[in-house]
């Protein structure tokens, strides 16, 4: 690819970037923020609800979610081809988390579960799915150009 100079140089890089520069750091920060939340869940939730190891199941799920979000952020920062996969997995886990949080909560926790779903989990899931789709769109646009330039990786 020929390097661009002048006023169009910054614009060309922006158009080729599938996500904003700040987004990888946000994913990693959210993953880190899930750690104390997961500890609180493990300590606060009853050990037995309708299933044994209830608190372990919920905190384990959130650990998996944190790993996916951190993986998304790290892979986005590294511009890895696997970042769209991790973004899609993170989006799916966030949708699942919102669904089960709302459906299994009761009393005052129901209001908290709905608030977290509406204000955090569902918007973040939408962003994750947008990231996954946008990366695929960019890769689809760039693939013919890279093949013509002899940069094809099989």
- State the pTM of this model: 0.67
What average pLDDT does range 104-122 have in this prediction?
91
pLDDT digits (tens, 9 = 90+) for 47-64: 766 778 888 888 999 999
3-state secondary structure at position 48: strand
How many angstroms separate the CA atoms of 149 and 94, rounded? Answer: 39
How many angstroms separate the CA atoms of 152 and 129, rounded? Answer: 26
CA 75 distance to own-chain centroid: 11
pLDDT digits (tens, 9 = 90+) for 118-133: 999 999 999 999 999 9
């Amino acid at each position: 690819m020929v390097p661009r100079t002048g006023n169009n140089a910054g614009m060309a890089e922006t158009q080729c970037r599938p996500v904003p520069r700040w987004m990888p750091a946000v994913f990693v920060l959210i993953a880190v923020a899930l750690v104390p939340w997961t500890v609180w869940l493990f300590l606060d939730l009853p050990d037995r609800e309708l299933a044994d190891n209830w608190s372990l199941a919920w905190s384990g799920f959130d650990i998996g979610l944190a790993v996916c979000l951190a993986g998304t952020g790290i892979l986005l920062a590294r511009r890895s081809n696997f970042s769209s996969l991790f973004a899609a997995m993170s989006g799916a886990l966030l949708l699942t988390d919102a669904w089960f949080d709302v459906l299994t909560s009761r009393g005052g926790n129901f209001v908290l579960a709905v608030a977290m779903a509406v204000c955090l989990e569902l918007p973040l899931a939408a962003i994750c799915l947008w990231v996954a789709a946008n990366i695929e769109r960019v890769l689809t646009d760039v693939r013919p150009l890279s093949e013509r330039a002899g940069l094809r990786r099989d």
